[in-house]
């Protein structure tokens, strides 16, 4: 794990410039620097995700500076995980500093708000947030999404489990009460109904909740075959720890629909992860050229393998810089012309930016935690059970791009 001292050292580099200047035009003015804002929670409950996102962006900036011989900066913007704070930071970056490119927005609520601000300022927000609305009913010209939305996450976790284990019929859910959680829950209910499974109960909780024992007691009383955990980050880890301490692993299957991957497994340890199913946007063990390159870069710089927060931020920052160089501009409309329909070698294999709704078409993974005895190395926490692409078409998702 990266120590706080090392992280502060790496973060200080985010404002540093590299190599020779190149002419990039934004809003008609010439500048010798490409700047990418990184609006993520550096403080608060999701600070760990923000820390790794900052690290991933730094790798992308350094790589681009060497590749193109240009000056590149990344600027951390602490959203605190709050939409109001996120919007204020983005407005300041656009109005005061002329920043047009942003890679971040880990929480759906802040990403929905920031995407609208990016559009107003002729900028681009590239996000890893999950709410279907981002590329659905609230899609807009300035928002792009790398992560698979909640619909696809459930399709690639709950559906394959039901198909591979038809005896798992009764499901209980624990859900954060905001747009991301509701998206996962509604998608899960649809799959339950289609596959003839029974949804035996749900417990909602707030984004500040840390104690889940009451919800787990309700789950035990419902006697499900599977517990589906729909929260994210530290909350899903807390839920899993408490569920296992209550003996739920021996009573039912446990599924985390949206895990944060390696960083979460390291915090939990192999004993807790064993035999638990995890949905994942990214896994460092996937054999794809783009991923193999990122693994090498991350090991060289930080001495560890990339996790989801780092990987997503790296790729989004890389795509924004590449597009700005190709367009000769950081303006949102110029970047959009480069992105529209673009195919590239991504972290999950070939990925595509769908022009109609700005959704990246990529794989989502179902992982199963390994026993400590089966791990081939310190990061070999899970095996890939299945992978696939599941997306609503833009019309079905409700996207009407202005």
Q: For the chain, what percent of residues have pLDDT higher than 90?
A: 86
For range 176-194, the mean pLDDT: 96
Joined tokens for residue 390: 């599941």
Q: Which CATH architecture has domain 4-148+286-361?
A: 3-Layer(aba) Sandwich (3.40)
Distances (CA, A) of 215 to 221, 259, 268: 10, 19, 20
pLDDT for 118: 96
Q: What is the pLDDT of residues 277-328, one digit of tens each?
A: 999 999 999 999 999 999 999 999 999 999 999 999 999 999 999 999 999 9
DSSP 216-236: HHHHHHH--SEEEE---THHH
What integer best gives the mean pLDDT of the chain?
92
pLDDT score recorded for residue 9: 35
d(CA 116, CA 287): 36
> Is the pLDDT reported for residue 378 higher than 90?
yes
Query: CB of 64 within 8 A of CB of 35?
Result: no
Residue, of 27 and 313, whose pLDDT is higher: 313
CATH topology for 152-280+364-394? Rossmann fold (3.40.50)
Return the pLDDT at 33.
87
pLDDT of residue 25: 44
Question: What integer pLDDT is reported at residue 7 of this predicted model?
Answer: 39
Could you report the per-residue pLDDT of 29-80, keeping only the tens digit for each? 334 789 999 999 999 888 888 999 999 999 999 999 999 999 999 999 999 9
Q: How confident is the model at residue 12 (pLDDT cuts 50, 70, 90)?
A: very low
Range in 16-20, 107-111, 205-209, 233-237 with the lowest mean pLDDT: 16-20
364 contacts 152 by C-beta, under 8 angstroms: yes
Look at residue 15 in the predicted model and tell me its pLDDT. 40
Residue written as tokens 């517990």? 227
Q: Nearest-CA neighbor of 128 among 245, 208, 233, 26?
A: 233
| Beta bridge pairs of residue 126 | 103, 144
| pLDDT at 235 > cutoff 50 | yes
Average pLDDT, stretch 250-259? 97
What pLDDT score was predicted for residue 52? Answer: 94
Q: Using CA of residue 59, residue 61, residue 64, residue 68, what is the dihedral sign?
A: negative
Residues of the chain with CATH 3.40.50.2300: 4-148+286-361, 152-280+364-394
Q: Which residue in the block uniquely carries the two structure tokens 């417990």? A: 203
DSSP state of 376: S
């Amino acid at each position: 794990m990266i120590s706080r001292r090392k992280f502060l050292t790496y973060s200080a580099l985010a404002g540093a410039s590299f190599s020779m200047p190149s002419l990039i035009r934004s809003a008609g003015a010439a500048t010798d620097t490409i700047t990418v804002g990184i609006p993520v929670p550096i403080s608060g409950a999701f600070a760990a995700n923000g820390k790794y996102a900052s690290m991933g962006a730094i790798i992308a900036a350094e790589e681009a500076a060497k590749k193109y011989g240009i000056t590149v900066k990344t600027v951390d913007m602490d959203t605190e995980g709050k939409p109001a704070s996120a919007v204020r930071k983005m407005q300041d970056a656009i109005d005061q500093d002329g920043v047009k490119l942003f890679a971040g927005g880990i929480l759906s609520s802040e990403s929905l708000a920031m995407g609208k601000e990016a559009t107003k300022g002729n900028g681009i927000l590239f996000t890893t947030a999950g709410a279907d609305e981002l590329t659905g009913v609230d899609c807009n010209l300035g928002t792009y999404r790398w992560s698979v939305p909640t619909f696809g996450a459930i399709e690639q976790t709950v559906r394959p489990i039901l198909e591979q284990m038809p005896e798992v019929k009764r499901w209980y859910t624990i859900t954060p009460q905001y747009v991301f959680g509701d998206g996962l829950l509604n998608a899960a209910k649809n799959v339950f109904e289609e596959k003839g499974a029974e949804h035996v109960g749900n417990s909602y909780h707030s984004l500040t909740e840390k104690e889940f024992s009451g919800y787990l007691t309700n789950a035990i009383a419902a006697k499900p075959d599977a517990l589906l955990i729909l929260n994210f980050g530290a909350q899903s880890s807390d839920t899993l720890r408490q569920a296992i301490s209550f003996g739920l692993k021996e009573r039912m299957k446990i599924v985390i629909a949206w895990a944060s991957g390696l960083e979460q497994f390291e915090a939990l340890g192999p004993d807790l992860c064993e035999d638990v199913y995890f949905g994942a946007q990214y896994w460092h063990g996937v054999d794809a050229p783009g991923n193999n390159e990122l693994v090498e870069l991350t090991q060289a710089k930080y001495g560890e393998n990339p996790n989801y927060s780092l990987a997503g931020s790296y790729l989004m920052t890389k795509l924004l810089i590449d597009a700005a160089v190709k367009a000769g501009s950081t303006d949102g409309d110029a970047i959009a012309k480069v992105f529209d329909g673009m195919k590239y070698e991504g972290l999950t294999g070939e990925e595509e930016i769908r022009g109609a709704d700005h959704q990246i078409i990529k794989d989502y993974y179902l992982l199963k935690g390994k026993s400590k005895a089966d791990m081939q190395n310190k990061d070999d926490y899970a095996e890939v059970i299945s992978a696939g692409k599941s997306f609503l078409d833009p019309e079905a998702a409700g996207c009407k791009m202005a």
